Homo-oligomer: A and B are copies of this chain.
Amino acid sequence: MSYRDKKVISIGLVSEITGLSVRKIRYYEERKLIFPERSKGGTRKYSFADVERLIDIANHIEDGLQTYEIKRMEAKRLRAQTQPL
């Protein structure tokens, strides 16, 4: 696993990097769009891949998509990918 996938960034820093509010980041998790890990104390840890994903999600939201639509789109993409025929 590359550095890109290691979950090591706190939510506050992710907020800084992405420009998204902490509230939004937590909400996208609630909607099952993002899956941070937790430290022993319970604090969320994100990877750089998660950061990129959050930016992607935010763009879709800005385009007027709802979270379940974003989730559905992914499911679709995943299916296309695993069943190339």
* Residue ranges of A at the interface with B (Cβ–Cβ < 8 Å): 2-4, 6, 8-10, 12-13, 39, 45, 48
Tell me the minimal C-beta distance from A16 to chain B in angstroms: 8
What is the predominant secondary structure among interface residues of chain A facing chain B? mixed
Selected A-B contacts with CB under 8 Å, 10 pairs: A3-B3, A3-B4, A3-B48, A6-B48, A8-B8, A8-B13, A10-B10, A12-B39, A13-B39, A13-B45
Copies per complex? 2
In Å, the complex CA distance between A45 and B9 comes to 10
A45, closest chain B residue (CB): B13
**Interface pairs A-B: 7 shortest CB-CB:** A3-B3, A8-B9, A3-B48, A3-B4, A8-B13, A10-B10, A8-B8
